[in-house]
Amino acid sequence: NAGVTQTPKFRVLKTGQSMTLLCAQDMNHEYMYWYRQDPGMGLRLIHYSVGEGTTAKGEVPDGYNVSRLKKQNFLLGLESAAPSQTSVYFCASRPGATSSYNEQFFGPGTRLTVL
Amino acid sequence: AQSVTQLDSQVPVFEEAPVELRCNYSSSVSVYLFWYVQYPNQGLQLLLKYLSGSTLVKGINGFEAEFNKSQTSFHLRKPSVHISDTAEYFCAVSGRGSEKLVFGKGTKLTVNP
């Protein structure tokens, strides 16, 4: 099993450009998450999904959109990138509420720079 | 809602010395507690977790943590560290029944020879 994978690993954007980050998991997990990591800030939740076709806002959702059209994929979109969105983005997944195994599994991250 | 405070942003230690990384949490409901480790330029990996039962939890790489409900703490310890333990460590809390994890800001552990 590959676990949680993220595409791309690195990206440089100019202010105002758009892009989509792809997260894929092969563990049949119900829940998926997008976080951003900034120095000294820990991980902050952007958006999450508790199942196919559902999404919800996290702590810092502004400037981002998400979609979960398939259970195994969770997409994070930036419609008009800003320098404040320069960060490392992590995707995570975990089994659903009926499982007692509620650990989150993380992908390797995407390093995004907005100039 | 839950919150996590990691009391030290950086902890330098010498190889083979013991280490304790401190974590306090706040919650109005019962919680699950986690410690994750992040090696340079990598994702997060679970070290250990407390769900219920024994308050002393053992994890990978010789780490352990103790859940103290009265002090709302979940400190991480290792009796003898190695150079390879150099990493950033994150404490996280989840309210029981919650879909979300709340992370602390992290503690950078540097093990010097």
Q: Which DSSP string do the residues of A62-77 spell out, in sequence order?
A: TT-EEE-SSTTEEEEE
β partners of residue B36: B46, B90
Q: Is residue A22 a contact partner of residue A11, using CB atoms and an 8 Å limit?
A: no
- pLDDT of A66 reads 97
**Residue A45 contacts B, CB cutoff 8 Å:** yes
Task: Give Cβ neighbours of residue B53 (< 8 Å, ≥ 6 apart).
Answer: none
**B79 CA: distance to closest CA in chain A (Å):** 25
Restricting to B residues 54-113, those with a Cβ less than 8 Å away from any Cβ of A are 90, 94, 97, 99-101, 103-106
**Neighbour count for residue B7 (Cβ, 10 Å):** 14
pLDDT in tens, A73-111: 999 999 999 999 999 999 999 987 766 657 899 999 999
Mean pLDDT of chain A: 93
* Residue B99 banded pLDDT, cuts 50, 70, 90: confident
In this predicted model, which residue has the larger pLDDT, B42 or B86?
A: B86
Residues in chain A with CB shorter than 8 Å from the CB of B100 are: 33, 45, 48, 58
Would you state the pLDDT for residue A101? Answer: 59
Query: Exposed, middle or buried, B45 (CB in 10 Å: 0-12/13-18/19+)?
Result: middle
Average pLDDT over all residues of chain B: 94
In Å, the largest CA–CA distance within chain A is: 43
Residue-wise pLDDT tens digits, B8-65: 999 999 999 999 999 999 998 888 999 999 998 889 999 999 988 888 999 999 999 9
pLDDT of residue B5: 96
pLDDT higher than threshold 70 for residue A1: yes
Nearest to B101 among A4, A104, A109 (CB): A104
Contact state of A106 with B51 under an 8 Å Cβ cutoff: no
The count of other CB atoms within 10 Å of the CB of residue B62 is: 13
**pLDDT value at residue A96:** 79
Does A43 have pLDDT greater than 70? yes
